[in-house]
């Protein structure tokens, strides 16, 4: 089953089979608005977002709006986000809201409502931070299961000083990053990747974030049974060759690119060409 009511992992696997694994991030930085000749206000944000959704929602598997760039415009920015999310989903893209939520469980339940029907910006999945501990994310896991949503949990992020915390060791000797991967794998228990160890109809709905910028893959993903969001391509220095070096062909990787695609705009054909170039390089 991979229709609208199916679990997120199954829907993601189907989208990847149909459209390829590329995710494009929608990050309307002040500088990008300027480079597109748009004002740094709600109207500029709306025109930028409409252009990206219009150009790409019919062809890429996942669009990942970065909440920060909508929140900074206040209620008008959130209204733009709501409209964009609905339009992107209607055009067939899955929407992963990049909000990196993380709080005590009772508050987490409120954040997780973004996965529930009736939320004005209901999305297919959301990024979350495990810093408050695995139990703090349980309400989001429950909401995701109930409504066929997904979570991507920060494990080995792409920023240069990420290892400072993520390589810290637990009493049992595992790194924090590995404990995050193991926790998420536990949520996916009962799921499975495809026969080649990559995508399958039972791909788990709970994924991790592992940057394409790592020197080495220093977490074991064998027990994850779910997708890996890989940011850090292009503007942060990661390349398709890095992805192949880090993950080979044995993981369900969703490579995500923001500035390196968005910089090609505002011409829709140029945006599409930039995304297609990335998709081709990633497949090559």
Ligand X SMILES: O=C(O)c1cc(=O)[nH]c(=O)n1[C@@H]1O[C@H](COP(=O)(O)O)[C@@H](O)[C@H]1O
Give the footprint of ligand X on this chain (CB under 6 A). 25, 27, 66, 98, 127, 157-158, 209, 211, 231-232, 234-236, 256-260
At closest approach, how far in Å is the CB of 147 from ligand X?
Answer: 21
* Cβ nearer to ligand X, comparing 63 with 200: 63
Phi/psi of residue 71, nearest 5 degrees:
-60, -35
Integer Cα distance of 219 and 175 in angstroms: 8
**Residue 255 in 3-state DSSP?**
strand
At closest approach, how far in Å is the CB of 257 from ligand X?
Answer: 5
At closest approach, how far in Å is the CB of 239 from ligand X?
Answer: 12
| Residue written as token pair 């990196």 | 100
* Cβ nearer to ligand X, comparing 157 with 188: 157
Q: Dig out the tokens for 170 from the structure.
A: 């637990």
* Cβ nearer to ligand X, comparing 242 with 260: 260
Phi/psi of residue 194, nearest 5 degrees:
-65, 180
Instruction: Tell me whether residue 64 is one of the annotated catalytic residues.
Output: no
Q: Dig out the tokens for 73 from the structure.
A: 């415009």
* Cβ nearer to ligand X, comparing 66 with 188: 66
Q: 134 near 106, Cβ under 8 Å?
A: no
The catalytically annotated residue of 46, 73, 100, 101 is 100
Q: What angle do CA 155, 94, 184 make, to 5 degrees?
A: 25
């Amino acid at each position: 089953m991979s229709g609208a009511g199916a679990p997120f992992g199954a829907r993601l696997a189907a989208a990847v089979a149909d459209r390829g694994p590329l995710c494009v991030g929608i990050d309307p930085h002040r500088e990008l608005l300027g480079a597109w000749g748009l004002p740094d206000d709600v109207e500029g944000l709306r025109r930028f977002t409409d252009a990206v959704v219009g150009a790409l929602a019919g062809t890429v598997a996942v669009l990942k709006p970065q909440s920060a760039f909508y929140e900074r415009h206040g209620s008008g920015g959130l209204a733009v986000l709501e409209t964009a999310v609905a339009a992107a989903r209607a055009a067939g893209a899955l929407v992963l809201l990049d909000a990196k939520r993380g709080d005590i469980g009772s508050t987490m339940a409120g954040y997780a409502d973004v996965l529930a029907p009736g939320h004005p910006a209901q999305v297919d999945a959301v990024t979350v931070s495990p810093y408050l501990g695995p139990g703090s994310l349980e309400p989001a896991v429950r909401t995701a299961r109930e409504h066929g949503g997904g979570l991507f949990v920060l494990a080995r992020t792409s920023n240069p000083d990420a290892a400072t915390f993520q390589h810290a060791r637990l009493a049992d000797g595992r790194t924090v990053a590995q404990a995050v991967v193991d926790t998420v794998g536990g949520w996916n228990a009962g799921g499975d990747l495809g026969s080649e160890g990559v995508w399958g109809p039972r791909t788990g709905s709970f994924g991790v974030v592992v940057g394409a910028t790592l020197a080495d893959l220093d977490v074991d993903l064998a027990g994850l049974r779910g997708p890996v969001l890989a940011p850090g391509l292009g503007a942060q220095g990661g390349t398709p060759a890095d992805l192949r070096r880090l993950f080979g062909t044995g993981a369900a990787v969703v490579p995500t690119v923001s500035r390196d695609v968005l910089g090609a705009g505002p011409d829709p054909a140029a945006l599409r060409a930039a995304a297609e170039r990335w998709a081709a390089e990633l497949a090559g």
